[in-house]
Structure 1
Amino acid sequence: MPSPDFSAILPKVSQFDFQYETAKYHPKIALTLAKASKLAYFAPEDVIPFVKQTWHFTDCQFLNEKETQAYLMVNDQVIIVAFRGSTEQADWLNNLKCLMPESDAFGKVHPGFRYALDHLWQKSYGKNSKGEEMRFLDYIKQLQLQKPRSLWFTGHSLGGALATLAVARLREKDIPVYGLYTFGSPRVGDRAFERTFNADFKSKSFRFVNNNDTVTRIPPREMGYSHAGTFLYFTATGQIKTDPYFWLQFLDRVQGSMDDFMKPGLDCINDHRIDCYIDRLITNLNVPITW
């Protein structure tokens, strides 16, 4: 697959505007983390210098193990982990294999997501002061011990699922996480996972769905899967809604499909693109959210 043109996205992602003083939902945090999710699709030789020079982060690392990739960005105030979404056929097979969930943090989760996250989770991130190998959990702890920083996770598509599972694993170990923002994420776990995750972290977890984004409806409910986190929905006309009734979603998806019927591509595929999420967030940047 050819590398995407990094220079083409620079106007869309150039500004880093983060609200450091809150762990509550904030539209600027949502937009910035959507931009970080966009960056996760690009090569490290482009992203790392950009994050350091333009976003003024002191460190940026590309985490790459088999088919799982993410960026870890660090400045004096935050640590952001942005997981890459689905770019290869093998990634989509992980998404679409509707296997029964298996045990993990907070309940049972999709085995493909668990397997993909394990690649990064079990990787060595160097040695600690005692000369012991550090895994992902230990590495995050060390970063926070060096200097107190808020920890944030994000991702689009498969990246959103991996970010959600990563947060669940950290929270199960009582590691403080300030926020999780996902875009077009598939369902991650079963009803027990949803209940436990929401009881612990729903107020800091925000799951965006754009109109007719089909990826957000897999794996199916009929196999025991359920979404977790606080739901935010973009209508066919780009309005942001919180927890709309199912029938309103259905009617809106029908309208979106009709509006895009004569346009190139399928509505369900177009609605899944991270660029669509970024555009919707920009449009709604000053729209008040009521819960």
Structure 2
Amino acid sequence: MFAARLACQREHLNTSGPAGTQDTDLKYCYLAKAAYDAYDHGRCRYSVDRMLPALGLGDHGYVATAFLYAAVNIVPVEHQQHWIGYVAVADKAERDRVLGYQYREIVVVWRGTSALDELFKDLEVNLQPIHGEESNKLVLVENGIQSLYATSCDSDACKNNHGSAKDHVLAELRRLVTYLRNKCPGDKIHVTATGHSLGGALATLTAWDAAAHEALAGVVVRAVTFGAPRVGNQAFCDELVGPRGVKVHRVIVDRDVVPSLPPTSFGYADAGSDVRLLHSERVVPVPFLTLLVSWHFHSLKEYLRILDSDYHERPVQVQVQDPPPVPADQFLPLPEAELDHQLNLTLPS
């Protein structure tokens, strides 16, 4: 079982960190892997309720509640909408096992770059005001990543969800926070945004918005990223971890170059000082192919290989054959009645 695997890693991980860090990093890394494994040419291969069980994470302690979609606007091509992540909530067993009594976690999981047009957006490294706010010109973020996160798709091509990825995630966070406050009034709520590479950058922007959202007042917000690039300038990073109070935990393989991009000479800065450096001892037999070697150490598989000593022996099994078409209504957020069933919750008496 997934929980048992986490427990057994404590004696085998070849990295150091605070108590609990090793377990939680591995947990979020597998959740991030699920976003890659479920992706299939712009869509998710599974319905919301089937995705995590189909990917071997049925006992991981989380229930997926909604999908996230991003609009990719490469001029002059019409907006394309890509499935880019999901939102999940911890069940009672996970709350008690990892988070401590009376804490319930909502996790926002973003996928990393998986399509050519997403790569083009990654390369738009010019800085611009956060969410285009002219009144806040000092806080700057990368244009391409912000475009994926905040661009609305209101055309007929966006069949799954109108609006932006930002709209989708904030709407689902509002829904789940309200739901948990009604069903679990004694539980405090944490929101963790996570992802690998581009997904980590999107997680950072999610944490920025969630921390200042009125409906999420009192909710603890953090970002846990794997091999994420820099997102914004020093003013962005200072406000993120300062006034907004976001706890940023960055996991980086020592030979991964992506976390050092875009360079600080372009005006970028690192968000937060909580960094866990993973040491890769693997020897790649093509040292003259510098770019390929760097990309090898950036892959999520390399992060999992270091975090999970059993990763190669027991990888998550992914369904190979194409699943039957998923009905359109199963791309909608999980209804509250189904949430009650999966989380075993009822209204307090």
Structure 1 and Structure 2 fold alike (TM over 0.5): yes
What is the alpha-carbon distance in structure 2 between the residues aligned to residue 158 and residue 15 of structure 1? 30
Distance between the aligned counterparts of 1:34 and 1:52, measured in 2?
12
Query: Is 1:42 matched with 2:42?
Result: no
What is the match of residue 68 of structure 2?
63
The aligned counterpart of 2:59 is: 54
Could you tell which deviates more after superposition, 99-108 or 63-72? 99-108
Q: If the length of structure 2 is used for normalisation, what is the TM-score?
A: 0.60
Whether the aligned pair in 2 keeps the contact of 1:95 and 1:219 (CA below 8 Å) is no
Partner of 1:227: 270
| Distance in structure 2 (CA, Å) of the matches to 1:144 and 1:60 | 13
TM-score w.r.t. length of structure 1: 0.70
Which residue identity does 2:268 align to in structure 1?
Y
> Does the 8 Å CA contact 2:111/2:196 hold for their aligned counterparts?
yes
Question: Any unmatched runs of 5+ in structure 1?
Answer: 1-10, 126-133, 239-255, 284-291
2:130 aligned residue: 103
Q: Take 1:162 and 1:70, find their aligned partners in 2: how far apart are those partners?
A: 10
Alignment of 1:31 with 2:26, yes or no, is yes
Partner of 2:167: 122
Residue identity opposite 1:145 in structure 2:
R
Instruction: Report matched runs for 1:196-207 at 5 Å.
Output: 196-200=239-243, 204-207=247-250
Residues 1-291 of structure 1 mapped to structure 2, 5 A cutoff: 17=6, 26-43=21-38, 44=44, 45=46, 47-50=51-54, 53-65=58-70, 66-67=81-82, 69-74=84-89, 75-76=91-92, 77-104=104-131, 107-118=139-150, 119-123=164-168, 135-146=171-182, 147=184, 148=187, 149-173=189-213, 175=216, 176-200=219-243, 204-229=247-272, 230-237=274-281, 261=287, 266-282=292-308
Q: Which residue of 2 aligns with 1:242?
A: none
The structure whose Rg is larger is 2
Change (3 A) 1:115 1:68: farther
Task: Calculate percent identity across the aligned residue pairs.
Answer: 22
Q: CA deviation at 1:92?
A: 1.2
Shift of the alpha carbon at 1:55? 2.5
1:30 shift after superposition: 0.7
Counterpart CA distance in 1 for 2:125 and 2:290 is: 29
Bigger shift: residues 164-173 or 59-68: 59-68
Distance in 2, matches of 1:47 and 1:16, equals: 20
RMSD: 3.4
The code of the aligned residue for 1:72 comes to: V
Q: Distance in 2 between matches of 1:116 and 1:92?
A: 11
The separation in 2 between residues aligned to 1:14 and 1:270, in whole angstroms, is 28
Q: Distance in 1 between matches of 2:300 and 2:67?
A: 20
CA contact (8 A) 1:210 1:272 kept: yes
Cα drift, residue 61 of structure 1: 2.8
Match of 2:112, SS state, is: coil
Pick 1 or 2: higher relative contact order, CA cutoff 8 A, min separation 6: 2
1:225, distance to aligned residue in structure 2 (A): 1.0
Query: Counterpart amino acid of 2:192?
Result: W
Q: For residue 279 of structure 1, report the CA deviation from its aligned partner.
A: 1.7
Separation in 2, partners of 1:79, 1:16: 22
Q: Compared with structure 1, are the counterparts of its residues 235 and 54 closer, same or farther at alpha carbon in structure 2 (3 Å cutoff)?
A: closer
Distance apart, 1:226 and its partner CA:
1.0
Q: Deviation at 1:24?
A: 8.2
Poorly superposed stretches of 4+, deviation over 4 Å: 13-18, 200-203, 262-265
Count of residue pairs the alignment pairs up? 241
Distance 1:262 1:63 in 2: 39
CA contact (8 A) 2:286 2:293 kept: yes
Offset, 1:217: 2.3
Quick one: distance in 2 between partners of 1:164 and 1:83?
Answer: 10
Aligned residue in 2 for 1:287:
none
